[in-house]
């Protein structure tokens, strides 16, 4: 196990009906808040109004900013930052999936700094991210997730898309840990089967990225990771079939939070190649993040099966019921088992199914390595994924 430092400062309120505590929690920190949310879902499901009522009952003044698109754009974040500054908001609340929560974090940073948010994207061509990251100052943040996927609710990172340059990338820093998150699994009852499946794939990917690329002598982390993967594998299909199954929704919600809170990756190192490759697809074609990850996984796993068959075999045996003893054979069987799981949630697809054009693959491979490589000519993984290799993965996923 490698040495590590771990900070998990976000206070977590978890469970049925906890969303009603939003007002009381916010009132401890602020008299006026910016409530950042998406364009449709939270209004349609009534949760936006519930949160506004809770805040107002607690005497908190609310400014609603409901313009966040999936794969949030930097110009929308900049507008939110301007409003937060002009209105004198003291707390930024992100209500929704990863997109509104990430946007809330970025708004909390730019409201103070006044910098355009695209400069915070790691790998951005301006190079300013080298000075701006890690983010050390931001307004206080609170999150209320309505979708189990990203783990953004309790981590200190986010992802933005700069539309003009098609750069999609991460930003992070200690100031971006939410002070508190209210995780009420019932808020996810209304998530569609498609986004439920995408979310399960996203948390699965957060778990296997470092597990497959990092140190293999982090035994506690292996057990934690495998337990959380099993939670996603078992409960994803249940929630897809039965959207109001509370225990399945609660398991997915808690697993997604724990999957990207630093816990399973600490002491292991490793990298996030699948995320680098997927973010470029979402930047160019605005596809769902989890869906893109599902599509790329089989081609990526084929490389892992060659480079580190022992790790893929271990995941197959401990999470997908693979019984084969030979590592190389077990690694191949793991790929089949993952595909079967994707099929059980109707998320086994190809890039061509999402309207992506073959002639754009080469451009996207170059962009993916440029942004994801952060100055290197490759994305680190179980091997160095250079432009040629990323293009091959895109082609095989087409
Ligand atoms: O558009 P709105 O109206 O908000 O509706 C959303 C959206 O259409 C809808 N939705 C959310 N909660 C719902 C619901 N519909 C019905 N009932 C509910 N309760 O679902 C759609 C997807 O929402 P979005 O927030 O985009 O999804 P997700 O949570 O998957 O977030 C994706 C974003 O997070 C980034 C991704 O790159 C992407 O931009 N990520 C953030 C991470 C982080 N901060 O740590 C890590 C991840 O790896 C990821 O990269
Ligand atoms: Zn992800």
Give the whole-angstrom CA distance, residue 78 versus residue 81: 5
- Please tell me if the CB atom of residue 300 comes closer than 6 angstroms to any atom of ligand 1: no
| pLDDT grade for 374, boundaries at 50, 70 and 90 | confident
The pLDDT assigned to 240 comes to: 98
The model's pLDDT over 2-18, given as tens digits with 9 standing for 90+, comes to: 999 999 999 999 999 99
> 378 - beta bridge partners?
none
Taken in order of first residue, the domains within the chain and their CATH numbers are 11-188 (3.40.50.1970), 193-396 (1.20.1090.10)
Q: What is the pTM of this model?
A: 0.98
Q: What angle do CA 257, 262, 263 make, to 5 degrees?
A: 80
Collect all residues with Cβ–Cβ distance below 8 Å to 383 and sequence separation of at least 6: 303, 307, 389
Question: How far is Cα 143 from Cα 92, in angstroms, rounded to an integer?
Answer: 8
Are 275 and 353 in contact, with CB atoms under 8 Å apart? no
Going from the Cα of 151 to the center of ligand 2, the distance in angstroms, rounded, reads: 8
pLDDT digits (tens, 9 = 90+) for 102-156: 999 999 999 999 999 999 999 888 899 999 999 999 999 999 999 999 999 999 9
Here the tokens at position 247 are 């225990």
Q: What are phi and psi of 9, to 5 degrees?
A: -85, -5
**Ligand approaching nearest to the C-alpha of 66:** 1
Determine if ligand 1 sits within 6 Å of the CB of residue 145.
Answer: no
What's the whole-number average pLDDT of the chain?
Answer: 97
Q: What pLDDT is attached to residue 123?
A: 85
* pLDDT score recorded for residue 163: 92
pLDDT-based confidence at residue 324 (cuts at 50, 70, 90): very high
- Ligand 1 pocket member 107 (CB < 6 A): no
Distance CA 248, CA 200 (A): 11
> What are the pLDDT digits (tens) for 69-102?
999 999 999 999 999 999 999 999 999 999 999 9
Residue 157 CB less than 6 A away from ligand 1: yes
Q: How far apart are CA 359 and CA 366, in angstroms?
A: 13
Looking at the predicted structure, is the pLDDT value of residue 352 above 90? yes
Q: Which atom of ligand 1 is nearest to the CA of 161?
A: 39
Neighbouring residues of the ion ligand 2, judged by CB less than 5 Å: 202
190 lines ligand 1 (CB under 6 A): yes
207-251 per-position pLDDT tens digit? 999 999 999 999 999 999 999 999 999 999 999 999 999 999 999
Mean pLDDT, rounded, for 146-172: 96
pLDDT average, residue stretch 291-312: 98
Residue 99 CB coordination number (10 Å): 29
| 8 A C-beta contact, residue 200 and residue 150 | no
């Amino acid at each position: 196990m490698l040495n590590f430092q771990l900070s998990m400062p976000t206070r977590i309120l978890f469970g049925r009906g906890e969303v009603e505590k939003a007002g009381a929690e916010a009132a401890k920190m602020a008299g006026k808040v910016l409530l950042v949310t998406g364009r449709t879902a939270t209004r349609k499901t009534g949760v936006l109004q519930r949160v506004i009522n809770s805040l107002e009952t607690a005497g908190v003044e609310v400014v609603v900013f409901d313009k966040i698109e999936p794969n949030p754009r930097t110009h929308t974040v900049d507008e939110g930052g301007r409003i937060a500054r002009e209105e004198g908001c003291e707390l930024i609340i992100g209500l929704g999936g990863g997109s509104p929560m990430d946007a809330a974090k970025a708004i909390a940073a730019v409201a103070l700094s006044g910098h355009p948010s695209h400069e915070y994207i790691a790998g951005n061509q301006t190079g300013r991210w080298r000075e701006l990251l890690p983010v050390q100052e931001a307004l206080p943040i609170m999150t209320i997730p309505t979708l189990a996927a990203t783990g953004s609710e309790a981590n200190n990172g986010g992802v933005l898309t700069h539309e003009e340059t098609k750069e999609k990338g991460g930003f992070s820093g200690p100031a971006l840990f939410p002070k508190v998150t209210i995780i009420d699994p019932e808020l996810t009852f209304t998530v569609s089967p498609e986004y439920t499946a995408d979310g399960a794939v996203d948390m699965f990917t957060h778990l296997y990225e470092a597990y497959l690329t990092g140190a293999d002598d982090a035994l506690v982390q292996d057990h934690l990771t495998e337990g959380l993967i099993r939670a996603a594998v078992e409960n994803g299909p249940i929630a897809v079939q039965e959207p109001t199954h509370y225990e399945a929704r609660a398991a997915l919600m808690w697993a997604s939070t724990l999957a990207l809170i630093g816990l399973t990756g600490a002491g292991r190192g490793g990298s996030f190649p699948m995320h680098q490759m997927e973010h470029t697809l979402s930047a160019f074609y605005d596809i769902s993040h989890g869906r893109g990850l599902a599509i790329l996984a089989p081609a990526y796993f084929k490389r892992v099966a060659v480079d580190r068959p022992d790790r893929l075999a271990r995941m197959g045996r401990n999470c997908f019921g693979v019984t084969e003893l030979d590592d190389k054979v077990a690694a191949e069987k793991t790929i089949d088992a993952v595909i079967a799981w994707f099929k059980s949630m109707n998320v086994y697809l190809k890039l061509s199914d999402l309207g992506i054009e073959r002639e754009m693959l080469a451009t996207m491979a170059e962009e993916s390595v440029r942004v994801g490589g952060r100055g290197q000519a490759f994305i680190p993984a179980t091997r160095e994924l250079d432009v040629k290799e990323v293009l091959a993965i895109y082609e095989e996923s087409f």
